[in-house]
Amino acid sequence: MKQIEGGITAVSGVRAAGVHAGIKAAEAKDVALIVTDVPATAAGVFTKNSVTAAPVIVCREHLSDGRAQAVIVNSGNANACTGEVGMANARRMAAATAEQLGIDANLVCVSSTGVIGQQLPMDKIENGIQAAAGVLSTEGGSDAAEAIMTTDTHPKSVAVEIEIGGTQVRIGGIAKGSGMIAPNMATMLSYLTTDAKINAETLQAALNRVVDDTYNLLTVDTDRSTNDTVLILATGCADNAEIVKPDGEDYEAFCDGLLFVCTELVKMLARDGEGATKLVEVVVKRARNRDDAEKAARAVAESPLVKTAVFANDANWGRIMMAIGKSGAEFDPYQVDVCLADYQLVKAGMDARYDEDKATGLFAQDPVRITIDLRAGDAEITMWTCDYSYDYIRINADYRT
Q: Which residues of 262-283 are buried (b: 16+ CB within 10 A; e: fewer)?
A: bbbbbbbbbbbbbbbbbbbbbb
Choice between 33 and 218, CB closer to a copy of itself: 218
Tell whether residue 333 is a contact of a copy of itself (CB under 8 A).
yes
x/- track of binding to a copy of itself for residues 238-277 (CB under 8 A):
----------------------------------------
Tell whether residue 312 is a contact of a copy of itself (CB under 8 A).
yes
Tell whether residue 78 is a contact of a copy of itself (CB under 8 A).
yes
> Which of 6, 20, 28, 52 lies at the binding interface for a copy of itself (CB under 8 A)?
52
CA dist 165 and 229 (Å) reads 30
CA dist 270 and 383 (Å) reads 10
Choice between 66 and 325, CB closer to a copy of itself: 325
Map residue 363 onto helix, strand or coil.
coil
CA dist 28 and 340 (Å) reads 40
x/- track of binding to a copy of itself for residues 187-226 (CB under 8 A):
----------------------------------xxxxxx
We find the least distance from the C-beta atom of residue 128 to a copy of itself, in angstroms, to be 23
Choice between 118 and 199, CB closer to a copy of itself: 118
> Which of 66, 308, 341, 361 lies at the binding interface for a copy of itself (CB under 8 A)?
308
C-alpha pair distances (Å), 95 with each of 41, 59, 117, 208: 20, 12, 22, 28
Tell whether residue 116 is a contact of a copy of itself (CB under 8 A).
yes
> Which of 27, 38, 48, 342 lies at the binding interface for a copy of itself (CB under 8 A)?
48
Tell whether residue 82 is a contact of a copy of itself (CB under 8 A).
yes
For residue 18, report the phi and psi dihedrals to the nearest 5 degrees. -140, 130
Choice between 250 and 302, CB closer to a copy of itself: 302
Tell whether residue 154 is a contact of a copy of itself (CB under 8 A).
no
Contact 16, 174 (CB under 8 A): no
Choose the catalytic residue: 82, 187, 194, 229. Answer: 187
| Strand-pair partners of 168 | 163
Give the CA dihedral 142, 147, 149, 155, nearest 10 degrees: 10
Residue 308 a catalytic site member: no
Cβ atoms within 10 Å of 37's Cβ, excluding its own: 13
Choice between 215 and 317, CB closer to a copy of itself: 317
Contact 346, 337 (CB under 8 A): yes
Which part of the chain contacts a copy of itself (CB under 8 A), choosing from 80-88, 98-106, 146-154, 248-256?
Answer: 80-88
Choice between 20 and 347, CB closer to a copy of itself: 347
Give the list of residues 6+ apart from residue 355 with CB closer than 8 angstroms, or none.
none
Which part of the chain contacts a copy of itself (CB under 8 A), choosing from 3-11, 36-44, 242-250, 387-395?
Answer: 387-395
Tell whether residue 313 is a contact of a copy of itself (CB under 8 A).
yes
Give the closest residue to 176 by CA, choosing from 207, 153, 200, 210: 153
CA dist 272 and 388 (Å) reads 12
Give the closest residue to 397 by CA, choosing from 183, 188, 225, 186: 183
Active site residues: 187
Chain residues binding a copy of itself by CB under 8 A are 48-52, 78, 80-83, 115-118, 182-186, 221-226, 302-305, 308-309, 311-314, 316-319, 321-326, 329-331, 333-334, 346, 348-351, 388-390, 392-394, 396-399
